A and B are shown apart, each in its own frame.
Chain A
């Protein structure tokens, strides 16, 4: 008991345990759904989910990495903004814009030397995402317009704009989607494809990990990150300290946008045969990014692992099609587990509450933290609602 106590008091440990508890809660909930829909095969199927990407050797791990790469990037985008006090719900739009510019450069700019073609395409994707993120940032900084609303709207504007532009520029009319990018624009494999025996793997995951490290350094080690975090944590105090809080807000959103945009580039240049569809659906990677960030407690390293974990679940969920479950049930379980991931914050609060020594001061603090928690949960509710809205929209479409 004593030992546990100490562990939980360690810096960061409470976050880790909270995330773990959220995952366990989600898995249990998933098990209940499995039991309800087919009790006989529930346990082997559940095990399949747990085993996830490890069921098919290196190839399965390759799959996990492939699915993880884009959501690590969008998760990083959401998490970074969150650390700096902004709620970037616009990762989806930034992702789509980045993806489009990446494939546009990939298809049209074949005059570039093949060695740098993909690199230019990725940089283009980052810039596109950054521009898309800057809009809500500017509005927030100069007119105090809530970034949640503006970035949701930017999602739709981005999606429709990209749909329109695809049709006019890089359209494959036969398949109602974008054309294939030039071979030189596909990300180099760097031997990873052989290592994991799959065609989809490339340096994308390495770029994602590098991004995680860079964001970690910015946030933890630099004066720039210090400014951003100070603004996010207390705008008034930052202003008081002479930090240009408007600049910080805009830069936060620009960086968050660039990360999402890069994520879009990494996915669509991965050579996995994924094309931008001309469909009125927001990129789900953007919203998965929110779950990833929440589960990873907005910490870059946490996000890296939560991204991998959610990808692991996706692969595991896909594999339980081997048992007698309708795919819809599988989608539901994965969603439920991710959903519980969002409660990581709640669990963290519980852990802190039961391990810290409440003194008279901390009573006041608890109150304040409660308020903060409430605020966060409110934000969460907004997210879930919009996400539901999108899903509904999607569902409606599929029904038709």
Chain B
């Protein structure tokens, strides 16, 4: 009985505490109500951004902020700019992976006073299409995607949205070129899935290898094993496949598919072979990473933010960042090359930048081959001194 009494009193005390807290904080509650009600109509949304809010926001994709990929790359750009110029910044994590959850996160960021919202990844295409009209005074930067309505893939970019793509084929080209220059001739390409970005990396990689082989005047063909593993995960199957390739004589594998890289690195560590990283500088992941085929996420975000604060925000446009604007690169400082020098890199980068070499992207290859898009494989890339073995 004693305990019962205590129990009841505990409940009462708690009830008291809650009512008290509810009373003391009633005011801010009203405020939030006002905010949200005004948020429902776009024309009033100006009131929304409080003077002291958090100006720069990033919405994470499903992964964490330190995902060694898009989230992290873009966040580094936001962080660098904000620290340099003393801006407030914050990232928001959606509750689930759905368009409405992304929209909710964006709304929360707006509520907190965001002026620029960075959205890394194509998953934000549809959500941004909704919010760009809803919040005309907020600016959006979307990486690797362009806003479009649900079910219709025609881009529809409003004036407050800036869409950034990357010329992955150039990044792949640089990697392929450097690795053949380094002296490797038995290469592998292990993509995650045949999504356009991965395909562009792969096609560029093959062309880069071919270009280097021609330049070196190699008598024997460069071998490229080429496959898409069908997922973006670190699985034992992927590792086994990579190990098999290394055993069959492959010297370097370009691991192009998120966590697939981890599997390939493990296999490389066991076999004592090399790996080429992707998207961001992955040299820290493993000693076996000889170089990384990078998109310059941080820089592109930094540049976009700079433009915004200089009142030159390139809203309404979609760009494909290539070598001309340092959108792609190899991280030469951290690369583990022995023969391929900075001078070699600068030379080829110059050629890529000036478009002196023609690098075909996925669409170009389809066009040249004259086949239906579904039937085109890496074997259709017009190369002379590279033998591509497509493995399904």
Contact = CB atoms under 8 A, between A and B. Distances in A.
Q: Please report whether the interface of chain A is mostly helix, strand, loop or mixed according to DSSP.
A: helix
A199 B8 CA distance: 43
Nearest to A284: B96
Interface in A88-104: none
15 contacts: A21-B11, A24-B14, A51-B29, A57-B36, A272-B99, A272-B101, A273-B98, A273-B102, A274-B96, A280-B235, A317-B95, A319-B108, A327-B93, A350-B3, A350-B7
Given A277-B97, A318-B108, A56 B36 contact: yes
B231 A278 contact: yes
A50 B92 CA distance: 20
A59 B96 contact: no
Nearest to A47: B25
A174 B259 CA distance: 18
Contact of B36 (A59, A275, A280): A59
A200 interface: yes
A223 interface: no
Interface in A9-41: 17, 20-21, 24, 28
Interface string B90-114: 1011111111111011001001100
Contacts of B122: 174-175
Indicate the member of A273, A327, A350 with the most B CB atoms within 10 Å. Answer: A273
B306 interface: no
Given A1-B5, A47-B25, A321 B92 contact: yes
Contacts of A321: 90, 92-93, 108
Given A55-B32, A273-B150, 14 more contacts: A5-B4, A20-B11, A57-B33, A66-B100, A173-B193, A174-B195, A174-B196, A175-B195, A198-B100, A272-B99, A274-B98, A274-B100, A321-B90, A327-B92
A397 B233 contact: yes
A43 to B, nearest CB: 7
A176 to B, nearest CB: 6
A275 B18 CA distance: 39
Interface of B: 1, 3-5, 7-8, 11, 14, 18, 21-22, 25, 28-29, 32-33, 36-37, 40, 60, 63-64, 67, 90, 92-102, 104-105, 108, 111-112, 122-123, 126-127, 150-151, 193-196, 230-235, 258-259, 262
A5 B7 CA distance: 12
Nearest to A172: B195
A398 B63 contact: yes
A322 interface: yes
Contacts of A4: 4, 8
A314 B101 CA distance: 11
Nearest to A331: B93
Nearest to B260: A400
A66 B3 CA distance: 40
A67 interface: yes
B112 A322 contact: yes
A327 B150 CA distance: 28
B36 A176 contact: no
Contacts of B193: 173, 176
Nearest to B230: A167
B140 to A, nearest CB: 17
A56 B233 contact: no
Interface string A314-343: 110111011000010000000000000000
B99 A274 contact: yes
B108 A355 contact: no
A2 to B, nearest CB: 11
Nearest to B228: A173
A400 B262 contact: yes
